[in-house]
Amino acid sequence: MKNADRFGARLARLLLPLVALSALAAPAMTQDAEHANRGARPDASARSRAGSLPEELREKSADVNGVRINYKIGGRGPAVVLLHGYTQTSHMWVPLMPLLATSHTVIAPDLRGAGASERTQDGYDKITLAQDIHDLVRQLGHEKVMLVGHDIGLMVAYAYAAQYPGEVSKVILMDAFLPGVGEWKDVWLLRDLWHFHFHGETALALVKGRERIYFEHFWNDFAADKTRSVPEVDRRIYAAAYARADGMRAGFQYFKTFEQDAKDFAAFSASKLDMPFLVLTGEKASGTFLIDQVKMVATNVSSTVVAGSGHWLMEEATDQVVPQIVAFLN
């Protein structure tokens, strides 16, 4: 790629986080933590930061695909599944869920290893994570879904659509990249994205008790403006969620499996997907990189590079991003 330094700096601001939209939604770590942090607030964004769960949403868990998955659910109608990224949980979607629940059944799971879902020893490749969600969707009685994924969640969304193309009507992918597609190693091997290779016993020992310090790097350095990134209340909740037993080990597994994901996605990309895709990226983050990748794996792609935003689209560009999500799904 041309001008690798500029490209790397731009991508670094985005790809590292794989952390996903806190400002719009307060994280869902454990039910106890959520209950402890709940607070009323008139608008969804404020409610998110207070850690509350709106009355129209319910929190449940289910045993699927050999793992216990925690999820939030609300509304009635066609199913929409919201998939969070690294350092966040399903709670990030709480402000968005009521807007969709007026006409859809909205399901926001904690991925295996995150929030209140089970931390298994393995199963963090994106095919398996997608199978977890597919089994949950089918257990809830839905045969077709729309998918929204940010960061690691977008990889799970793609793996879901590629495995079950006849069961997916629309897909939204938000700011990160697809392992195994196109020049993906230009991102995976970027010097500034060292976190992709940071896992194992030494890494765990280094971050134990310092989870918040580690996550600050994501939240600050991959935002266009760190003062408009993940809010303080959300930072505390997310750091506490991943500090729970085995939380950081499980989170590192999302990155450790990238080489396997790359093999899987390369095979998937041989057959382009036909359902409509919307790709949303940050101008100061992945820019057009993810958009170009998605055009390699799908035939019907619309996209927006969100001006002035970094990786944290939901927090940094709420007014631009949320209406596009709602309009596309409706």
pLDDT tens digits, residue range 197-223? 555 677 676 678 777 888 888 899 889
Q: What's the rounded mean pLDDT across residues 4-18?
A: 39
Residue 327 in this model has a pLDDT that exceeds 80? yes
Residue 5 in this model has a pLDDT that exceeds 60? no
Check: CB of residue 317 under 8 Å from CB of residue 23. Answer: no
Residue 142 in this model has a pLDDT that exceeds 90? yes
Residue 264 in this model has a pLDDT that exceeds 60? yes
Distance in angstroms between the alpha carbons of the first and the last residue of the chain: 37
Residue 260 in this model has a pLDDT that exceeds 90? yes
pLDDT tens digits, residue range 23-46? 333 333 333 333 333 322 234 444
Question: In sequence order, what are the residues at sequence separation of 6 or more whose Cβ sits closer than 8 angstroms to the Cβ of residue 275?
Answer: 161, 165, 168, 169, 170, 171, 298, 300
Which pLDDT band, with edges at 50, 70 and 90, does 195 fall under?
low
pLDDT at 233: 86
Residue 135 in this model has a pLDDT that exceeds 60? yes
Residue 300 in this model has a pLDDT that exceeds 60? yes
pLDDT at 100: 96
Q: What topology is assigned to 4-329 in CATH?
A: Rossmann fold (3.40.50)
The pLDDT mean for the chain works out to 83
pLDDT at 14: 37
Which of 20-34, 115-129, 153-167, 207-221 is least confident?
20-34
pLDDT tens digits, residue range 275-287? 999 999 999 998 9
Domain range summary for the chain, segments of one domain joined by +: 4-329
Q: What's the rounded mean pLDDT across residues 36-63?
A: 61
Q: Rounded distance, CA 237 to CA 126, Å?
A: 25
Quick one: what percent of the chain has pLDDT higher than 90?
61
Q: Which residue has the higher pLDDT, 138 or 24?
A: 138
pLDDT at 205: 63
CA angle (327, 329, 330) in 5-degree steps? 65
pLDDT at 210: 76
- Is the pTM higher than 0.85? The answer reads no
Q: What's the rounded mean pLDDT across residues 16-21?
A: 36
Which of 12-26, 33-47, 148-162 is the most confident on average?
148-162
Quick one: what percent of the chain has pLDDT higher than 70?
78
Q: Rounded distance, CA 63 to CA 140, Å?
A: 12
Q: Rounded distance, CA 178 to CA 119, Å?
A: 24
Check: CB of residue 290 under 8 Å from CB of residue 262. Answer: no
pLDDT at 213: 83
Check: CB of residue 141 under 8 Å from CB of residue 133. Answer: no
